[in-house]
Amino acid sequence: MPNGEVIMYRAICSCVLVTLLALREMLRSCVYLIGIWLLLLTQAMAQAPLSLVIFDYAPYNYEEGGDAEGFATDIVRETFRRMEIPVSITAVPWARGIAEMKKGTVDGIFTIYRKVEREKFANFSEEVLVMELVSLFVLADSPITFDGDLVTLLKQYRFGTVRGYSYGKAFDEARKLEGIKEPTEAATSEQNVLKLLKKRYSIMVNDKYVALDILGRLNKIERVKELLPSVQEVPAYLAFSKASKYPNLREIRTKFDATLLQMKVDGTYDQIIDSFFK
């Protein structure tokens, strides 16, 4: 081969080699960048907040200034903080929250009663989130006592209730019996409390924490006392949507139960509730 052709051949080979080396480095860079992108995407997905909804039921859950508040809300926030799982909590109307649970457009809802028909679209926590208590209240200087015999008490005294409210099976069935005094009804829970303070009746029936919240806002907690035992206890839970695409929700539910139980054991749970009624 003539010297000129040899030189040209070597030049071409050198160019091809340089091009191949450049392509190899470009490929390495692309693989590295794709790896970084996948890592960031995985981390972003892992840190995506769990979407939870509540409905307005103070002091358990409510919206104030655009933020979700309430002692049940604070309990849930602290539980997931300990689990190192970010959460987004939004207040919505009850019907909308249930509809979004069925569609899986939200990951969970609280506080919610456990019913057979709801288990078709929701996995409930095993640990009770809050125990809603139906309680009797009287003025602080009242001589009335309660030993659990609700029927006898209903026959002896005038009660105050909120129009259209259910106070659980025990009270709702007892008030239908013969000889029971017709309750004095109010339009709202706050009006119910005010009527007790004005001595319009002897005993108020109300959710314990709802009554304490209203009395606290009125600065009248010392004017009233709760009669024990409670008329009825109704457990309420956190429920996860079966249609949700959030990863590992079953494992999250298991960890939620364990973490919530630990909060009850170490006193944090009671501290959160007590802080709302000081």
Mind listing the pLDDT tens digit for each residue in 129-146? 999 999 999 999 999 999
Residues 221 and 256 in one domain: no
Domain boundary among 47, 67, 82: 47
178 Cβ contact partners less than 8 Å away, ≥ 6 residues apart = none
Name the domain count of the chain.
3
Helical segments of 51-139, H only:
71-83, 94-103
Residues 228 and 252 in one domain: no
Q: pTM score, two decimals?
A: 0.77
Residues 124 and 257 in one domain: yes
To 5 degrees, how large is the angle CA 215–CA 216–CA 221? Answer: 60
The number of helices, as runs of H, and strands, as runs of E, in the chain is 9, 11
pLDDT at 166: 84
Residues 171 and 212 in one domain: yes
Instruction: Count other Cβ atoms within 10 Å, centred on residue 118.
Output: 17
Residues 105 and 141 in one domain: no
Average pLDDT, rounded, for the chain: 88
Residues 120 and 247 in one domain: yes
CA distance 41 to 98: 30
pLDDT at 17: 57
What is the average per-residue pLDDT within 66-94?
97
Residues 177 and 230 in one domain: yes
Residues 28 and 152 in one domain: no
Q: What is the CATH number of the domain that holds 135?
A: 3.40.190.10
Domain range holding 113?
Answer: 50-129+236-275
Residues 33 and 77 in one domain: no
